[in-house]
Structure 1
Amino acid sequence: MLKFGIIGTNWITQQFVDAAVESGEWQLTTVYSRHADTAQAFADKNHAAETFTDLDEFFSQGSFDTVYIASPNSLHFAQAKQAIAYGKHVIVEKPAVTNQREFEQLDAVLAAHPDVRLFEAARQIHEVNFKRVKEQISKLAMVQGATLTYMKYSSRYDAVLAGEEPNIFSLNYAGGALQDLGVYLAYDAVGWFGMPEEVAYYPTLTRTGVDGKGVAILRYADFTVTLNVGKTSNSFLPSEINGARDAIVMDNPAELGQVTYQDNDGNAHNIGVAPDDNPMLAEARDFAAVINDPAKYQADYLAWRQLSRNVNKLLFNLRQSAHLTFTGETPATDE
């Protein structure tokens, strides 16, 4: 049984803890929060034995070998780097880092700790339906493009409208639609089609300076992929990948609850499976497999790391095209 600790006590942390326990591979032992009462409440609810409010003590004294990080985006890099230095495996929520310079620094720390594994929690790439879509793309006679939409109104936007600045809508915490829901679409695009040749992002900014919504254009050699992302409005449009007379249609390219293939005659064929009730179950199992048997699953691990690297580069290039810079960032040094 793998023992893990957590940083962050929000809803997504609870979802991962539930998935980890359901997988039968993980045991939650340790909780970190800046506030002792918050840490204790989460620990009591999930039967964890330890709580900490100091990160150094959490890493040096905690009884765990893997940490799950679900703090604000801007804190992911420093906390992941610290965890690796303490010899802990790391599962960090997307986006793992905000630019290529940070990615390269984590690679350097990992090189000094070769037994440590670092995972970006991009859950949908571990799910069956993500792989079914990729398989069906390979069967298309041609690909002529795709339109992927993930727009979901955030309850935190109400706070923005009320004059506040929650983390996910703050440049201080690397917030915005692209860095949140857009990560799912970036993983879809890169995972299914590879890296584009040219990119451009056209954001609609909120009063806090982050992108509340936006449209990304990814140009490949023979087709274009359009990404529609937003946290300030809802969209109920399906997404699709266009062949010639056929297409792959998804109810939602991030959640992939239903995936169909529309053949040349317009007939719909279900090519997906019913998703797990907890969408983080597949990744919890995959991460455990790599940690428990690193030699057997090394190829998978390296493929996920390369995909994460490419997605990070794509997101950064999209931000660069729109002149979106986070607080404290020096984009001139990034490539």
Structure 2
Amino acid sequence: MKLGIIGTNWITKQFVEAAEMTGEFTLTSVYSRKLATAQKFGADFKNVTEYFDNLSEFFEQGTFEVVYIASPNNLHFEQTLQALKAKKHVIVEKPMFSNPAELKVLQKYLHHHPELYCFEAARHFHEPNFQSVKQAVKELPVIQGADLTYKKYSSRYDQFLAGEEPNVFSPKFSGGALQDLGVYLVYDAISWFGIPEDAHYYPVKLRNGIDGSGTAILNYPGYDVVLNVGKTANSYLPGEIYGLKETIVMDNAAELQKVELVDATGNGTMLSVDPAKNPMLAEAKAFGEVLRDTDSLQNKQLQQEWLAVAVEVNHVLYKLRQSAGLAFPADEHEVNY
């Protein structure tokens, strides 16, 4: 399948490399606000034939079938709809959209256009080690809670400290630690434990009101799941899920490179496999296999199941933001198609 991209940063390069590695995709079309930037990015991939600095022309004239969107968060909604209207399948980087209102519009559009597919690129959701944790949790006779951490110092934080306001630390662009890294942990919680009864977020806000870090508490019947997120410091704490006498321990609740089940005596059984060198390979393979046959009822069902999880993740993220008084300009926009 011919692939087009919006966004020319390192994460886009990593995804394109993974996508081409699967044998399902070939990058042919690159959009950037500056043509020279698009051309510089495309020079690393031998099959690129189209460069655009006009988004409307990109969608109207581009010969690609699938688009990968890795623009600032607040642009995802409009660009996704624009792509779908141009009859392109969409892979949109997490977080898919800013709020549930935008996702509701997407669901309505896809309902009226079942031939089109749209995926949220939450990479770890498709990895085998993620599924291993899910199965291990299912087999626990008792669940007493979990502590999941993902704190990673952002290179953009240096710019913020210098007085700038990069996209990832800007309310205008629907940024912040919860939206950027917290989405991984919310995917963990919903996939492994289900939808929480309640959710609260306690952020550490920066000078412009955005959350640089924070702690979320998700309430389940009889236990809580605690999520620690941050973009202003590095954490090396493992993630833990508590059974009765056994504990599922992971090196990191988002990276999931090592997962083991530790019994009451402290002996561990390895649950994980060695991760792929490119962490986006599993999701690229999953999307490629589904898009290979869009008429398949099984593939359509898979896409709907994945989208249903994305919707629940978005709802929980929004509820967490509301509990903390974190609002984005995107929340005030009237959305429709």
2:207 maps to 1:207: yes
What residue is the counterpart of 2:286 in the other structure?
A: 286
Alignment of 1:1-335 (within 5 A): 2-47=1-46, 48-294=48-294, 295=296, 296-330=298-332
Q: CA contact under 8 A between 1:140 and 1:243: conserved in structure 2?
A: yes
Q: CA contact under 8 A between 1:200 and 1:218: conserved in structure 2?
A: yes
Shift of 1:112: 2.8
Q: Scaled by the length of structure 2, what TM-score is found?
A: 0.96
Count residues with an aligned counterpart: 332
Q: CA contact under 8 A between 1:123 and 1:282: conserved in structure 2?
A: yes
Give the counterpart letter for 1:307 in structure 2.
V
Deviations 1:178-223 (A, max 9, x none): 0000010010000111110011000001112210000000000121
2-structure distance, mates of 1:37, 1:45: 14
Question: Higher mean Cα deviation, 39-48 or 227-236?
Answer: 39-48
Identity over aligned pairs, percent: 53
Shift of 1:44: 1.3
Q: CA contact under 8 A between 2:29 and 2:63: conserved in structure 1?
A: yes
Deviations 1:45-66 (A, max 9, x none): 2221110011111011101010
Shift of 1:332: 11
Tell me, which stretches of 5 or more residues in structure 1 are unaligned? none
Q: CA contact under 8 A between 2:8 and 2:38: conserved in structure 1?
A: yes
Give the counterpart letter for 2:280 in structure 1.
M
Shift of 1:113: 2.0
1-structure distance, mates of 2:111, 2:151: 38
Question: What secondary structure is seen at the aligned counterpart in 2 of 1:46?
Answer: coil
Distance of aligned partners of 1:157 and 1:136 in 2 relative to their CA distance in 1, 3 Å threshold? same
2-structure distance, mates of 1:13, 1:328: 24
Distance of aligned partners of 1:328 and 1:80 in 2 relative to their CA distance in 1, 3 Å threshold? closer
Q: CA contact under 8 A between 1:87 and 1:113: conserved in structure 2?
A: no
Shift of 1:98: 1.0
1-structure distance, mates of 2:194, 2:334: 25
- Stretches (4+) displaced over 6 A: none
Distance of aligned partners of 1:328 and 1:257 in 2 relative to their CA distance in 1, 3 Å threshold? closer
Give the counterpart letter for 1:113 in structure 2.
H
Give the counterpart letter for 1:299 in structure 2.
Q
Q: Scaled by the length of structure 1, what TM-score is found?
A: 0.97
Distance of aligned partners of 1:236 and 1:283 in 2 relative to their CA distance in 1, 3 Å threshold? same
Q: CA contact under 8 A between 1:85 and 1:113: conserved in structure 2?
A: no
Shift of 1:256: 0.3
2-structure distance, mates of 1:125, 1:164: 33
Give the counterpart letter for 1:325 in structure 2.
A
Q: CA contact under 8 A between 1:85 and 1:109: conserved in structure 2?
A: no
2-structure distance, mates of 1:25, 1:331: 37
Deviations 1:239-288 (A, max 9, x none): 10000110000001101000010013221110110000001111111111
Distance of aligned partners of 1:312 and 1:146 in 2 relative to their CA distance in 1, 3 Å threshold? same
Q: CA contact under 8 A between 2:5 and 2:29: conserved in structure 1?
A: yes
2-structure distance, mates of 1:224, 1:34: 44
Distance of aligned partners of 1:243 and 1:186 in 2 relative to their CA distance in 1, 3 Å threshold? same
Question: What secondary structure is seen at the aligned counterpart in 1 of 2:179?
Answer: coil
Question: What secondary structure is seen at the aligned counterpart in 1 of 2:44?
Answer: helix
1-structure distance, mates of 2:324, 2:271: 37
Distance of aligned partners of 1:219 and 1:183 in 2 relative to their CA distance in 1, 3 Å threshold? same
Question: What secondary structure is seen at the aligned counterpart in 1 of 2:178?
Answer: coil
Tell me, which stretches of 5 or more residues in structure 2 are unaligned? none
2-structure distance, mates of 1:157, 1:100: 28
1-structure distance, mates of 2:302, 2:143: 26
Question: What secondary structure is seen at the aligned counterpart in 2 of 1:12?
Answer: helix
Q: CA contact under 8 A between 2:174 and 2:330: conserved in structure 1?
A: no
1-structure distance, mates of 2:189, 2:316: 10
